[in-house]
Amino acid sequence: MEQPVSNIPYSKTGYFNQLVADFLAEHPHLRPFYKYSPVKPDFEAVIKAKKAFPQHREELVNALRGQYEGLQIAPAVQENIDSLLDQNTFTITTAHQPNIFTGYLYFAYKILQTIKLSGNLKTEYPRYNFVPVYYMGSEDADLDELGHVYIDGKTINWPTSQQGAVGRMAPEGFEELIEQVKNALGYGEHTEELVQLLKRSYLEHENIQEGTLYLVNELFGRYGLIVLVPDNPLLKQLFIPVMRDELFNQHSHRIVNNTIEELSRHYKVQANPREINLFYLTPTARERIVRIGDTWKVLHMPVEFTADTLEQELNRHPERFSPNVILRGMLQETILPNIAFIGGGGEIAYWLELQDLFNHYQVPYPVLILRNSFLLADDASRQRLDKLGLSVTDLFEETESLVNSFVLKHTNAALVLKDEYAAVEKLFDDLLLKARDIDVTLEATVASERIKAVKSVGKLEHKFLRAEKKKFAWQTEQIRQLKKRLFPANSLQERKENFMPWYVQRGPAFFDLLLENIEPLSDQFKIIYLK
């Protein structure tokens, strides 16, 4: 059954910066930094460019088959993996770190958008095949970001002392974490089913990236989604030429800094390159590589290389080298026959720094697409809004500003003292004329008193409004509660909440509902009213 929805432009939400608005609008300040329109891309052109680039399809398929070995694979996933051997198959990719329990709601949104766009393109371009891919950023070492989940007002943290790439960490202590998640979720028709899935994902696998692979495959495999874990020697082998150039010549530092110099004239820069944009990766550490003269050192580790030993290490163990944000996209586009990348505002911002770097390595630059954003409004919240005479789009306004607007709209009292301000200004204009006639030095005194008088009127106006708010205590409290419920911690719901509270009520149908409402090429934030 179709859900009622409404839209609001991203630029009107107050939660997206100017770069996002200008990216969608293809503003002249930003347009030179990306190749294809984000809302009306020329997919034929990007397919042509990708076809001209050397493909590594056999190596990719072999890596995927090894990665999925031992997992139950949906027929749609198996079919999509096999189809990657075909020169007319291309991928639509989104990327995200392996946050515990998937982290934020937008994790699901990004994945479902790749699925929807792949399906749409199959219909539009029937001579090609399109495969959705979730590229797992499992080498990320930011445990503060990846090691917690927020459910119904409560943050559940993973207390581990492990270090290094989060994807390689053992899921120790997850029995207790899953119990905390279960208690936070409460009763739902699908609670037990989900809890058992979490146990199989984290308690029956050696590390976080394997657990995340299992979980995402179970949740989204029926749609044909392929999960790619790039922490793989077969895949890193394909990236050796770029990594070698980075280690010995450091071109990326100069190229990306030149782009940043241009970009920063109008926008805040998202990511700054280092001289070497590779980390050294071990089972328990991910540390920067720095060059000092003719020696390459790994920070905080007793590891260093000469030119010869570095070359040997790179060729024998490419998996020990891990790209940072500057080179991560290059690895992705090297190993995948990819034509489009779906990311959030922050991801789009750093991709905009990279076009010249892609040109340098002659790697085709993909279509950049902003991920869909949603607000899921429950029926109870909608009924409260109706009683208050508000629309859900009103809730994008800052809380106290919305409260003030509500009171001013519904009060019978004159709370805005426009006439009084005008009278004060008129009075002091007259006093200023008299002061000039008496003694010109009195002008400063009159100006000072004018400021005091205007401030006094402002204080009275504020007190009038505060007193009137008390008459609307029930309504203003309802507004604050609605904001707290739908915009937790004054943030967008999708940047805070996890998918599980909705899943325990609806099960897999929750993802079907989202998929139905996704518009892969859109410049609108969407509100879905759930029944």
Tens-digit pLDDT profile for residues 410-432: 665 555 556 666 777 788 888 88
**How far, in Å, CA of 173 to CA of 158, rounded?**
8
Rounded distance between C-alpha atoms, residue 340 and residue 337, angstroms? 10
Phi–psi pair at 509, nearest 5 degrees = -65, -20
Q: Which pLDDT score is estimated for 103?
A: 97
CB under 8 Å to 189, separation ≥6 — which residues? 504, 505, 507
How many separate helices (H) and strands (E) can be counted in the chain?
24, 15
Per-residue model confidence (pLDDT) at position 2: 47
Query: What confidence score (pLDDT) does residue 429 get?
Result: 83
Instruction: Report residues of the chain scoring pLDDT below 50.
Output: 1-2
Q: How far apart are the first and last CA of the chain?
A: 10
Residue type, 150: Y
C-alpha closest to that of 506 among 114, 155, 219, 201? 219
444, 480, 530 from 397: Cα distances, Å: 40, 11, 22
Distances (CA, A) of 230 to 98, 414, 415: 12, 64, 61
Phi then psi for residue 198, to 5 deg, are: -65, -40
Tens of pLDDT, residues 78-113: 999 999 999 999 999 999 999 999 999 999 999 999
Sheet holding 5-9, edge to edge: 5-9, 524-529, 374-377
Residue-by-residue DSSP string for 77-117 = HHHHHHHTTSTTEEEEEEEE---GGG-SHHHHHHHHHHHHH
Instruction: Tell me the C-alpha to C-alpha distance, in Å, between residue 99 and each of 106, 149, 226, 402.
Output: 12, 8, 18, 34
Rounded to the nearest 5°, which phi and psi values hold at 425? -60, -40
Token pair listed for 407: 């009171």
CA distance 403 to 475: 9
Domain boundaries, the chain: 5-233+326-372+499-529, 238-248+268-324, 387-489
pLDDT at position 1, please? 39
Residue with tokens 């770190």: 97
Distances (CA, A) of 434 to 199, 423, 453: 83, 17, 18
Q: How far is it, in rounded angstroms, from Cα 159 to Cα 154?
A: 15
Give the list of residues 6+ apart from residue 450 with CB closer than 8 angstroms, or none: 424, 425, 428
Question: What residue spans of 237-353 are helical by DSSP H?
Answer: 240-249, 251-263, 307-316, 325-335, 345-351
